[in-house]
Amino acid sequence: MFNIFKDMSDKEKKSKEQEVSEENQNEKSSENAGRDKKKNEVKKSEKEKYEETVNELGTKLAETNEKYLRLYSEFDNYRKRTSKERIDLSKTASEDMIINLLPVLDDFERALKAIEPNEQVNALREGVDLIYNKLQLILSQKGLKAMESIGNLFDPDLHEAIAQIPAQDEESKGKIFDEVVKGYYLFDKVIRYAKVVVAN
């Protein structure tokens, strides 16, 4: 290459050097363009992989979030339900015992009606009345409440009709004329239906 430049003039040398350098630059630029193209392709494929990974992770995050919300709401419902059951249980824990004591209350009421007031049995009546009132107070503190049925309209959700009598007037039709067995609530729950006589 040096021999070629010896025979040439300065201008020719310069132009030849420029041509060679331009060729080198063209080769380098084409090599660089090829490298850049490969780099861009690699970058694009990496970018696509990252986007796919990000999309997959986003989907998994959404699914996990949805599962978490479902579990949280299920647990919250479970907590509320068990809390309500616990409150109901504490209110009605003594329900069976109170139901078993209702016939005793009935017997006390019958005894008080049967004892006729006179001087000889007055003390006995007062004693029975005192015991009855104590028992009734204790049971009412536990949530027991007697139904008021006589004179009210017959309600099949609260009353059990055991007999019917002819109504004396139009206004008393469908109303309760007499109560054979008293009905009771334990808090707001009916634990014994009133057995009643209905006017029709």
- The mean pLDDT of 36-58, rounded to a whole number, is 80
Instruction: Give the pLDDT band of residue 16 (cuts 50, 70, 90).
Output: low
Instruction: Give the pLDDT band of residue 62 (cuts 50, 70, 90).
Output: very high
Beta strand pairing status for 189-192 and 184-186? antiparallel
What whole-number distance in Å separates Cα of residue 164 and Cα of residue 148?
19
- The mean pLDDT of 115-143, rounded to a whole number, is 87
What whole-number distance in Å separates Cα of residue 135 and Cα of residue 31?
107
The pLDDT value recorded for residue 1 is 47
The pLDDT value recorded for residue 32 is 61
Residue position matching structure tokens 């008080």: 112
The pLDDT value recorded for residue 68 is 93
Q: Which residues contact 190 (CB under 8 A, 6 or more apart)?
A: 157, 158, 183, 184
What whole-number distance in Å separates Cα of residue 67 and Cα of residue 71?
6
| Whether 116 contacts 153, CB under 8 Å | no
- The mean pLDDT of 172-188, rounded to a whole number, is 90
- The mean pLDDT of 19-23, rounded to a whole number, is 66
Instruction: Give the pLDDT band of residue 125 (cuts 50, 70, 90).
Output: confident
The pLDDT value recorded for residue 132 is 93
